[in-house]
């Protein structure tokens, strides 16, 4: 049975962003699951286009709307995005923990962002202050103060949410016992920076973007946002998963490329399953996400660097005295196993108890969402017993040897 | 000293494309280097956006224009794109071989394509017949007839030009002694199909594309074509090469993002070297390439399947009685070493003498263009002595064992 939950928007007052600009009132939309007992709070950090609706449950919105779904505008991946991991009896058990998930500043699921109204009554658009992952962390800290939560048992995040979790260990090292970063990294590599830059260019060169001032227009930059999402989508899958899922098959006759312009010559060639899938996903995405938010959040992700302001990743994490779990997936080329190993090494250099749990997987980056059977057990055990948790493995052999157990990724096609 | 060369456009008369449509007169722009002695002809097949200008030399255009460069509109990668490999004393020695390279139908360097004038005096645009790699091969055969060349000593191609070379072995097996496919494949994988589809969508959703009818307009779909090129460019590099070349560095202060719209929030974040590089390359590209041609040629590449019309790759190649060289690069994720090995296995199944020469490389797909020191020696020796050429290696051990020598790419990040 779905658990009852607080879903609300907190008014946190004036907020000064890391860029130096301020807004008068930062609103943060969040959901909270379970009962707070003083030392059982877990903060979950969502991924790029995710929302606070981490699990499936009856929310305030359901009650208010008589049972219809979730927070306004949420749909698809943004809705109940980790319901296999978070819930009653799940790895992050809401009957045991008090679980909080907040929409990040700059996003579009209820927390202040470009689509919100500025004091002048017009949408902020690109007048909204630039946002960093540090701002996300600081906003979350403010929200937890508002909720009466001091020290957290754990911060858990996947993808850029994992970067957010690592930022907690740097920024508020005394406030967290356990840090879990799933399919994350200390910083994006240039290949991903390139693809994110191309995705943003797709949005800003869409004539309907209008410098970000499209909220009252008939059409927003949906073509550009669709392209941006499709580029992202390819980053979330692997060659292997695309082979298995789509191959080179043509889509069925009932599938037509009718959502955007094409040309007569195209009809000679098959409309392939993979194209049809990406087109369909992009159509769904543009209905649920704001183009300016996509610019803001990808910039925050691209800009994140664990070691910023420090001499090294290890120096950044030096004040952290809890335990850390890194989890990575061998088929993930967006956030690679090598990158998680780099973070593990930084924790090890600080003598922080850390485990880097590597999952053999074909699913690419999406694995952290679609393989709860592999993510759940080590996560559950880590939250109970730290790095000694039974299902938790590490890349460093227990005998003290330091050869990583995972396949040598330097032989990969990608790193050459 | 540059060698004198024929650079011309051949009128080949009516041409019926594989799709069934015809044009009244197929014009094929080509260059020919060296002297034909009857059995020394080598056909070179260019890559997606390449041209017939494979090597550096004095062309007819130079002579006519008093020394200015190359064929009309050629620049950047399209100009003298393999001059380290082809020329006097080079691996493909123009003092020894008669070398022909022709611009493919559908392209925009002088061979008939969408930008050309139709019989009604207007540009074809998307009324130009859909083009396949089979059409490229058939047009090349017609051109060679026109030049008086019967059987070829070799067909050599890189990237999609390698697919073109393989198509020669299927379509005209008696006409070729040696087939060389560098960084090629029997077919694209779904990941590359996806990225090509997104690139085409970037062009067709650009309002300035106008259904392909933009030749008389003030502005063509330059934004969309720039995005398409940038997506392609990422496919040509590797994570490792991008790390080494750009890292996460910010571009210098004199570099500004002024070529396309941006927003105030962007200014808070660095304009990175990798973005600056891709933007610069895209600007150059849109000056030299036609957007409709990009649609046509990527579709031809995506559609190519070595085994089409046959039960298997080996069955398609069964009539070929020459020798074959496959060359691949470990850092190439666009056309992988695994994919070249698949082609090698097909040749082996037909008892065709074949060598799969794997180059350890960080350069990604671009390696076939930027590593002449690795491409040249095996190519030179293969052209002289076939698979017994001294610098030619194979993935199958000489003792008859059949374990490929290259690192097991199934452990790659990409394939999971």
> Which CATH number does the domain housing residue B399 bear?
3.40.50.1820
Whether residue A416 is contained in a domain is answered as: no
Q: Are strands B98-102 and B323-329 parallel, antiparallel or unpaired?
A: unpaired
Of B253, B277, B299, the one marking the end of a domain is B299
Give Cβ neighbours of residue A253 (< 8 Å, ≥ 6 apart): none
**Alpha carbon distance B199, A132 (integer Å):** 30
Residue B267 burial (CB count, 10 A): 12
Query: Is residue B366 part of an annotated ligand binding site?
Result: yes
Which segments of A39-189 does DSSP mark as H helices, in order?
Answer: 60-65, 133-147, 160-171
Size of interface A-B (CB pairs under 8 A): 256
Whether residue A270 is contained in a domain is answered as: yes
- Residue A295 shares a structural domain with residue A337: no
Tokens 């560095």 found at: B249
- Token pair in block for residue A192: 């991903």
Residue A146 burial (CB count, 10 A): 14
- Residue A35 shares a structural domain with residue A165: yes
Residue B1 burial (CB count, 10 A): 6
**Alpha carbon distance B224, B209 (integer Å):** 8
**Alpha carbon distance A253, A274 (integer Å):** 14
Of A238, A272, A299, the one marking the end of a domain is A299
- Token pair in block for residue B247: 């890292």
- Residue B261 shares a structural domain with residue B376: no
DSSP state letter for A126: G
**Alpha carbon distance B356, B371 (integer Å):** 17
Whether residue B159 is contained in a domain is answered as: yes
Q: Which residue of A has its CA nearest to B228?
A: A198
- Residue B50 shares a structural domain with residue B29: yes
- Residue B270 shares a structural domain with residue B350: no
Residues in A touching B198 (Cβ below 8 Å) = 227, 230-231, 234, 278
- Residue B313 shares a structural domain with residue B232: no
> What value does the mean pLDDT take over residues B164-185?
98
The strand order across the sheet containing A152-158 reads: A5-11, A27-33, A98-102, A41-45, A152-158, A176-182, A323-329, A354-359
> What value does the mean pLDDT take over residues B106-114?
98
Residue B60 burial (CB count, 10 A): 15
- Residue-number span of the structural domain to which A213 is assigned: 192-299
Tokens 């369909």 found at: A280
- Residue B327 shares a structural domain with residue B250: no
Instruction: Print burial letters for A116-127: b (CB count within 10 Å at least 16), e (below 16).
Output: beeeeeebbbbb
The predicted structure's pLDDT at residue B288 = 95
Residues in B touching A231 (Cβ below 8 Å) = 198, 231
For chain A, what is the domain count? 2
The helix/strand/coil state of A197 is helix
> What value does the mean pLDDT take over residues B144-149?
98
Among candidates A224, A237, A261 on the partner chain, residue whose Cβ is nearest the Cβ of B211: A261
- Residue B142 shares a structural domain with residue B205: no
Residue A250: beta bridge partners? A272
Residues in A touching B129 (Cβ below 8 Å) = 265
Q: pLDDT digit string (tens) for B296-328?
A: 999 999 999 999 999 999 999 999 999 999 999
Q: Contact A260/B201, CB-based, under 8 Å? A: yes
- Residue A43 shares a structural domain with residue A12: yes
> What value does the mean pLDDT take over residues B266-286?
93
Q: Which residue of A has its CA nearest to B213?
A: A263
Q: Which residue of A has its CA nearest to B209?
A: A261
> In 3-state terms, chain B is what percent helix, strand and coil (to 5)?
40, 15, 45
**Alpha carbon distance B134, B6 (integer Å):** 25
Q: pLDDT digit string (tens) for A83-116?
A: 999 999 999 999 999 999 999 999 999 999 999 9
Whether residue A50 is contained in a domain is answered as: yes
Query: Shortest CA distance to B324 belongs to which of B155, B204, B96, B190?
Result: B155
Residues in B touching A246 (Cβ below 8 Å) = 190
Percent of chain B whose pLDDT exceeds 90: 83
Mean pLDDT, consecutive 10-residue segments, chain A of 416 residues? Answer: 69 97 97 96 97 76 44 56 96 98 98 97 96 98 98 98 98 98 98 98 96 96 98 96 95 68 84 94 95 98 98 98 98 98 98 98 96 98 97 80 46 37
Q: Which residue of A has its CA nearest to B270?
A: A303
- Residue A58 shares a structural domain with residue A125: yes
Residue B328: beta bridge partners? B358
Query: Is residue B229 part of an annotated ligand binding site?
Result: yes
Q: Are strands B98-102 and B27-33 parallel, antiparallel or unpaired?
A: antiparallel
Largest CA distance in chain B: 65
Distance from CA of A130 to the nearest CA of B (A): 5
How high is the mean pLDDT of chain B? 90
> Which CATH number does the domain housing residue A293 bear?
1.10.1740.110
Catalytic residue among A332, A350, A362, A394: A332
Binding-site annotation: residue ranges of A for substrate: 229, 366
The helix/strand/coil state of A256 is coil
The predicted structure's pLDDT at residue B398 = 57
Of A283, A299, A315, the one marking the end of a domain is A299
User: Which whole-number Å values give the CA distances from A266 to A230, A273, B129, B131, in the listed order?
Assistant: 19, 15, 10, 10
- Residue A59 shares a structural domain with residue A113: yes
- Token pair in block for residue A139: 């906003």
The predicted structure's pLDDT at residue B57 = 60
Q: pLDDT digit string (tens) for B256-269?
A: 666 678 877 888 89
The predicted structure's pLDDT at residue B68 = 41
Which segments of A42-150 does DSSP mark as H helices, in order?
Answer: 60-65, 133-147
Which segments of B106-178 does DSSP mark as H helices, in order?
Answer: 133-147, 160-171
**Among this protein's residues, is A365 annotated catalytic?**
yes
How confident is residue B73, by pLDDT bands cut at 50, 70 and 90? very low
Q: What DSSP string describes A202-239?
A: HHHTSGGGGGG--TTSSS-SHHHHHHHHHHHHHHHS-H
Q: Contact B194/A231, CB-based, under 8 Å? A: no
Whether residue B314 is contained in a domain is answered as: yes
The predicted structure's pLDDT at residue B263 = 79
- Residue A322 shares a structural domain with residue A388: yes
Whether residue A210 is contained in a domain is answered as: yes
Q: pLDDT digit string (tens) for B209-234?
A: 999 999 999 999 999 999 999 999 99
> What value does the mean pLDDT take over residues B45-54?
96
Whether residue A356 is contained in a domain is answered as: yes
- Token pair in block for residue B108: 């925009």
More confident residue, A40 or B410: A40
Query: Shortest CA distance to A44 belongs to which of A97, A89, A113?
Result: A97
**Among this protein's residues, is A357 annotated catalytic?**
no
The predicted structure's pLDDT at residue B267 = 86
Q: What DSSP string describes B30-74?
A: EEEES---SS-EEEEE--TT--S--S-SB-HHHHHHTS--SSTT-
Whether residue B416 is contained in a domain is answered as: no
Residue B403 burial (CB count, 10 A): 9
């Amino acid at each position: 049975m779905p658990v009852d939950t607080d879903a609300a928007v907190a008014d946190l007052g004036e907020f000064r962003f890391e860029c130096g600009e301020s807004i008068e009132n930062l609103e943060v939309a969040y959901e909270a699951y379970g009962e707070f007992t003083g030392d059982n709070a877990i903060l979950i950090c969502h991924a790029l286009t995710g929302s606070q609706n981490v699990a499936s449950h009856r929310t305030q919105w359901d009650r208010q709307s008589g049972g219809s779904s979730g927070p306004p505008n949420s749909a698809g991946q943004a809705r109940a995005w980790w319901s296999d991991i978070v819930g009653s009896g799940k790895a992050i058990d809401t009957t045991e923990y008090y679980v909080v998930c907040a929409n990040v500043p700059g996003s579009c699921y209820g927390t202040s962002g470009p689509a919100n109204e500025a004091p002048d009554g017009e949408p902020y658009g690109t007048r909204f202050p630039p946002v960093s992952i540090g701002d996300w962390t600081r906003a979350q800290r403010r929200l937890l103060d508002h909720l009466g939560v001091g020290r957290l048992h754990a911060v858990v995040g996947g993808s850029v949410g994992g970067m957010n979790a690592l930022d907690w260990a740097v920024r508020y090292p005394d406030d967290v016992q356990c840090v879990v970063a799933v399919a994350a990294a200390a910083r994006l590599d240039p290949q991903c920076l390139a693809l994110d830059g191309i995705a943003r260019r797709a949005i800003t060169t869409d004539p309907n973007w209008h410098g970000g001032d499209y909220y009252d227009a008939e059409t927003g930059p949906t073509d550009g946002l669709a392209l941006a999402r499709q580029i992202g989508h390819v980053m979330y899958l692997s060659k292997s998963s695309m082979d298995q899922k789509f191959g080179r098959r043509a889509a069925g006759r009932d599938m037509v490329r009718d959502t955007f312009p094409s040309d007569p010559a195209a009809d000679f060639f098959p409309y392939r399953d993979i194209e049809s899938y990406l087109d369909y996903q992009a159509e769904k995405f543009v209905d649920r996400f704001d183009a300016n938010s996509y610019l803001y959040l990808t910039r925050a992700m691209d800009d994140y660097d664990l070691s910023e302001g420090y001499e090294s990743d290890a120096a950044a994490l030096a004040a952290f005295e809890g335990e850390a779990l890194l989890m990575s997936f061998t088929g993930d080329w967006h956030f690679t196993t090598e990158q998680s190993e780099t973070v593990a090494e930084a924790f090890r250099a600080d003598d922080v108890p850390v485990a880097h749990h590597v999952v053999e997987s074909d699913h690419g980056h999406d694995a952290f969402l679609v393989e709860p059977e592999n993510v759940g057990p080590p996560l559950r055990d880590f939250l109970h017993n730290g790095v000694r948790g039974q299902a938790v493995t590490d890349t460093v052999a227990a005998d003290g040897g330091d050869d990583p157990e995972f396949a040598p990724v330097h032989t990969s096609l990608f790193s050459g």
